[in-house]
Amino acid sequence: MTGPDTAAWSRRRVDAAGPFDHRAALATLAAHAVDGLHHLDLETGTFSRWVQVEGAQHLVTTRLETGGASLATPSAAPAVLDALADLTAHWFDLAADLGPVDAHLGADPLFAAQVRERPGLRITRFRQPFEAVVCT
């Protein structure tokens, strides 16, 4: 299955507040992807799926990159783009300030090496609690 042709779609950039280990986020998505519910392309770093925002279902393709995420959707409605950008920031924890987290975990001998070796590691959330149960 190939992803959708997004050439004429509206786009929005969501920058991460600091480093973002997008490869770790892609690995998490790969571990939980369900054919037919998601389309994940690890080569391009894109993830496509339907999400409900503004009372309707919208197809969104998200490209995860070092500095954050870029999303594309057929909708040109500003409210939909804003909602999808907010959802993406929450989904991949892009607004989190990792400084205090890294400082706390980096002070623990159990986690110090992992914090040094994996900068930008963030939480990858599920869209819905039910989805977390079914896909885990």
In-domain check, residue 4: no
Supply φ then ψ for residue 7, to 5 degrees. -55, -40
Q: Number of structural domains, the chain? A: 1
In-domain check, residue 17: yes
- pTM, two decimal places: 0.86
Residue 95 lies in domain: 10-135
In-domain check, residue 5: no
**CATH number, domain with residue 104:** 3.30.310.20
pLDDT beyond 80 at 130: no
Distance between CA atoms of residues 83 and 48, nearest Å: 16
What pLDDT, in 10s, does the model give residues 10-25? 999 999 999 999 999 9
